[in-house]
Chain A
């Protein structure tokens, strides 16, 4: 019974993910992607990682799904092939059964006490890690993000020159 919540979340997320791949309409696919990200963030909430969960919601649902949906709507919602709904159900069930067997295997290995138990999440330790240990990494990240911003601008400028 301990596994009921994660299994339900897994079934929910994997069904949404498969639907986003298999749906006839691209817009519905994008909505399913948003639902998948929601399921993923609920999973992070379940694992007691609220900061990561909310990061997931704000960045993935708030920015990436919106970007994908915007592009789909601008280019046009083409319905090129038939959806395969039964495949979605079968795939979700298969995935869940796979994960369940994996979970039971993990429980068996966990009972052998090979893995040290995880520490509970605390925001203070996360910010300590970011400020003290990963500051340089974040700066590299800033460089990468800036470079990607410049790349996006360069692409846009090229398109503007062509048209």
Chain B
């Protein structure tokens, strides 16, 4: 390590040690409790908070799903384009390719461009990762399988969503590159424009369930899924979701042929890796919330356990989200903004008005 990178390493390492120590101090009672449970009744471990935060809806799950999603995406897009995709790393069909990519990124140099604003430039990817993964805290996979069953979960999800444009704008500005900055501005316009359709199309789910708790919203769909009661809203939510995640056909901020990689142009190594990771974790969070809002969460015929139903639905939604990359061309920025304001918002409002009109007939079907 040379003199140039030592201060960054020192600052980041000291911060991570401090944060780890704080986490361990907070968790000391829970760790002892979990060990005791593990020794007496290993199956009861799934009921402890530590297991949820660390393993299932928590850290391990949200780390594994992006790697799997990346592999599925590469394979799927390759098949559509009559290629073979990853083939050599780790057993059949290149299953461990994403893991290999992660290790490759760990060993790559993080280049800090000239005249960049270093603190912001280096910290923006970490915040993007934290913000991308934080919404998964309120998403339930079964009535009890949720890290924080918060009474205002819907609002918390949208509040965390509001931080993304800020992070993108800071990352774009700090890297002192014209492509980055233009890409960042486009990302800002796009995320700002599509946040309103997301709000307005999520409103029917809250209206029908009469609660901000995501578990209550899923439970209210035990008779009819909300996708049948508010189909327009579901479609609007799905399209806005794609735009918020900046996936094709809305990958305007990183249009390769015009803006190189948009606001991630100057990022390399693990800094870029964290951004990539945050995009896929965000996809998991959005797929989870779409399932809870419109596809009934864990409800379904009792042939499968509740968690399995959730996972099946989330996988299907993620697959559909991934498949857009293979099938659709990119649209222009002005078309994108026109579509968001002129079409999606009126459609979302239309669905709300329809629900108000048929208000009298609804209580019978909402369980």
Contact = CB atoms under 8 A, between A and B. Distances in A.
B234 interface: no
A114 B169 CA distance: 49
Given A66-B169, A66-B188, A69-B169, A61 B155 contact: no
B158 A58 contact: yes
Interface in A32-53: 34, 50-51
Contacts of A7: none
B195 interface: yes
Q: Chain A interface mostly helix, strand, loop or mixed?
A: helix
Contacts of A62: 159, 161-163, 165-166, 195
Interface in B37-69: none
Nearest to A127: B210
A119 B155 CA distance: 22
A73 interface: yes
A27 B152 CA distance: 32
A34 B212 CA distance: 25
Contacts of A50: 151-152, 155
A34 B152 CA distance: 22
Interface string A108-128: 000000000000000100000
A69 B117 CA distance: 15
Contacts of B159: 54, 57-58, 62
A95 interface: no
A123 B169 CA distance: 34
B109 to A, nearest CB: 26
A34 B166 contact: yes
B170 interface: yes
A150 interface: no
Interface in B137-158: 151-152, 155-156, 158
A134 interface: no
A21 interface: no
Contact of B212 (A27, A31, A123): A123
A69 B166 CA distance: 8
A8 to B, nearest CB: 15
A65 interface: yes
B152 A61 contact: no
Contacts of B165: 62, 66
A70 interface: yes
A123 B158 CA distance: 17
A54 B154 CA distance: 10
A51 B152 contact: yes
A40 B165 CA distance: 20
A65 B167 CA distance: 12
17 contacts: A27-B120, A50-B155, A51-B152, A54-B158, A57-B162, A57-B163, A62-B161, A62-B162, A62-B166, A63-B162, A63-B192, A66-B188, A66-B192, A69-B170, A73-B173, A73-B181, A123-B152
A163 to B, nearest CB: 18
A65 B166 contact: yes
Q: Which 6 A-B pairs have the closest CB atoms?
A: A62-B162, A57-B159, A54-B155, A54-B159, A58-B162, A50-B152
Contacts of A54: 152, 155-156, 158-159
Nearest to B150: A50
B353 to A, nearest CB: 15
Nearest to A38: B163
B163 A61 contact: yes
A128 to B, nearest CB: 13
B155 A66 contact: no
A62 B161 CA distance: 8
Nearest to B199: A58
A150 to B, nearest CB: 16
Given A50-B151, A50-B155, A70 B188 contact: yes
